[in-house]
Amino acid sequence: MSKAYIIDSETTSNKHPHPIEVAFVEFTARGALGGAPTVLRFNPPVPIEFGAMATHHILPDELEGMPEYSPLVFPMMDYVIGHNIDFDADCCQIPGAVKRVCTLAMARAIWPNTSHTQSALLYMLSNDRAATRERLRNAHSAGADVIFCYEILLAILSELPHIRTIEELYAFSEECRIPKVMTFGKFSGMPVQHVETGWRNWYRRQTDKDPYLLRAFELYPYDPMYKE
């Protein structure tokens, strides 16, 4: 049976991240958690940047005596779930064969007209925002963020009654990750159909290409007459 885990990490920086705290918990076939999250801390080989420190509030002296990070701390898994999962999976060196399920991409597809940070989504979904505010005071702790991700995942699944397996959830996540609107560059904010052929060809020559945008180019050819 396939194994799926929700993960989160706190890191030294956004641009060149090293994990200093990771959390993970199994997401079972019944849609429940397989126990309490495992939370581990590590002493990084580089300093924590102040911008990252201001986000997670983990201080360097709290990591003294901790081991350096190793991806071997994670259990064997077939699927890994997270909010903006590529960031966590890349910095945690999750093997490429593990399939990634992104709650951020799915939330953007299901609720397009809101902010999509975990905190914003939890406020949107909450029936008691004062209580949610108290819980969110622990946001950007990896252990808390894993639980928040799980709650968002359950809300996503409640909108998708036809999805019953982790394989189907992964397929939906992959579909959601293909952009319909450009988020950067000359055509930012415009439908992919408006991206001219010359720009598409230029992007294909770049070294750091987004495979999901390349897939969007295949699905949505240039059409100057396209209207939403």
pTM above 0.85, yes or no: yes
For domain 4-176, the CATH superfamily is Ribonuclease H-like superfamily/Ribonuclease H (3.30.420.10)
Q: Write the single-letter amino acid at 194.
A: H
Domain boundaries, the chain: 4-176, 178-228
pLDDT, one tens digit per residue, over 88-145 is 999 999 999 999 999 999 999 999 989 999 999 999 999 999 999 999 887 778 999 9
> Which residue in 81, 100, 84 sits closest to 14, CA to CA?
84
Q: pLDDT tens digit string along 21-71? A: 999 999 987 788 889 999 999 999 999 999 999 999 999 999 999 999 999
Q: How far apart are CA 153 and CA 18, in angstroms?
A: 26
**Residue 14 in contact with residue 34, Cβ under 8 Å?**
no
33 near 150, Cβ under 8 Å?
yes
- Condensed to tens digits (0 to 9), the pLDDT of residues 177-194 reads 999 999 888 999 899 999
